[in-house]
Amino acid sequence: MAAPVTIRILGVGMGPHHVTPEVAEALRTTDYVLAADKSGDDPLLALRREIVRAYPGPAGPVEVIAVPDPQRDRSAGLSTRGYESAVTDWHDARAAEYASILRQRGGRAAFLVWGDPSLYDSTIRIVEKVRALGVELDYDVLPGISAPQLLAARHRIVLHEVGRPVHVTTGRRLQEAVTVGLDNIVAMLNPAPERLDLTGLQDWSLWWGANLGAPGERLIHGRLGDVLPDVRAARTEAEARDGWVMDVFLVRKPR
């Protein structure tokens, strides 16, 4: 390839209404978008296509190339080490698929990242893996609106109390944070509530949201022990409405 591939890693929040002018301009000057297709009828792929249509270039919306997403071991009983190994293997397989297309197509490619690329997203890591596979490339990263930002805005709260920190982690590692004494925690990448370890948190305050910014958005706030059944029901409703579900929550110990 005579010239390196240019890759734009674009944070798109949760849809066209969250796209910043900077990201919109990047979309208009991109040759094509690479997007994982998780199911063959992936509603999040459809939403990516909607974003692209909302910000067409001079010749119309750029092409979206759907890439069948490699399978990942999602066993409920994976240890932390097993989970990390499964994710690494998945990312390696993704990088190999993307590298093959980028070698063939060249030009200016983009990845559309839900929320913001800096927070619990691996697109940057995968692009680095693509480069390690020998694809000559350069890339930049444009920020988007993150899930914790949306959660705070929807609930009209600040994520931390005055002069205090907020810890951001995953649902899988929630109890690790609690065990070391952290008491103001945002959790992302969460499994269904029945698979979360909420031991000792029944009296904590919960601010919860699912599919923030999407038509199926659901919000719940209250004492965790009181509202947990509502969370389960709302999560199911969000998935039924949108065809997918992603939730995020803040838990805070009472003082």
pLDDT score at 2: 45
| Section 245-249 average pLDDT | 97
pLDDT tens track for 154-168: 999 999 999 999 999
pLDDT score at 107: 95
Query: Looking at the structure, do residues 127 and 155 belong to the same domain, yes or no?
Result: no
Query: Looking at the structure, do residues 123 and 153 belong to the same domain, yes or no?
Result: no
pLDDT score at 83: 67
Q: What are phi and psi of 236, to 5 degrees?
A: -65, -40
User: Sign of the C-alpha dihedral, residues 114, 117, 123, 127?
Assistant: positive
87, 113, 142: which is the final residue of a domain?
Answer: 142
Query: Looking at the structure, do residues 18 and 118 belong to the same domain, yes or no?
Result: yes
pLDDT tens track for 7-26: 999 999 999 999 999 999 99
The residue among 157, 158, 119 whose CA lies nearest residue 246 is: 119
Query: Looking at the structure, do residues 125 and 160 belong to the same domain, yes or no?
Result: no
Query: Looking at the structure, do residues 178 and 104 belong to the same domain, yes or no?
Result: no
**In terms of DSSP bridges, do strands 247-252 and 205-210 run parallel, antiparallel, or are they unpaired?**
antiparallel
DSSP type of residue 194: G
78 has pLDDT over 70: no
85 has pLDDT over 90: no
Instruction: Provide the whole-model pTM.
Output: 0.90
117, 142, 167: which is the final residue of a domain?
Answer: 142
pLDDT score at 21: 97
Which CATH number is 152's domain given? 3.30.950.10
Which CATH number is 31's domain given? 3.40.1010.10
| Section 63-70 average pLDDT | 91
Query: Looking at the structure, do residues 11 and 134 belong to the same domain, yes or no?
Result: yes
For 208, the domain range is 147-252
* Contact present, 39 and 67 (Cβ < 8 Å): no
For the ranges 58-62, 71-75, 245-249, the one whose mean pLDDT is highest: 245-249
Q: What are phi and psi of 195, to 5 degrees?
A: -100, 0
Pick the residue with more confidence: 80 or 139? 139
* Contact present, 235 and 209 (Cβ < 8 Å): no
Query: Looking at the structure, do residues 53 and 154 belong to the same domain, yes or no?
Result: no
Least confident piece of the model among 7-11, 89-93, 98-102: 89-93
Query: Looking at the structure, do residues 159 and 41 belong to the same domain, yes or no?
Result: no
Domain count, the chain: 2
Query: Looking at the structure, do residues 132 and 169 belong to the same domain, yes or no?
Result: no
86 has pLDDT over 90: no
| Stated length of the chain | 255
Query: Looking at the structure, do residues 115 and 185 belong to the same domain, yes or no?
Result: no
Query: Looking at the structure, do residues 65 and 160 belong to the same domain, yes or no?
Result: no
118, 142, 166: which is the final residue of a domain?
Answer: 142
Q: How far is it, in rounded angstroms, from Cα 238 to Cα 247?
A: 9
Query: Looking at the structure, do residues 24 and 84 belong to the same domain, yes or no?
Result: yes
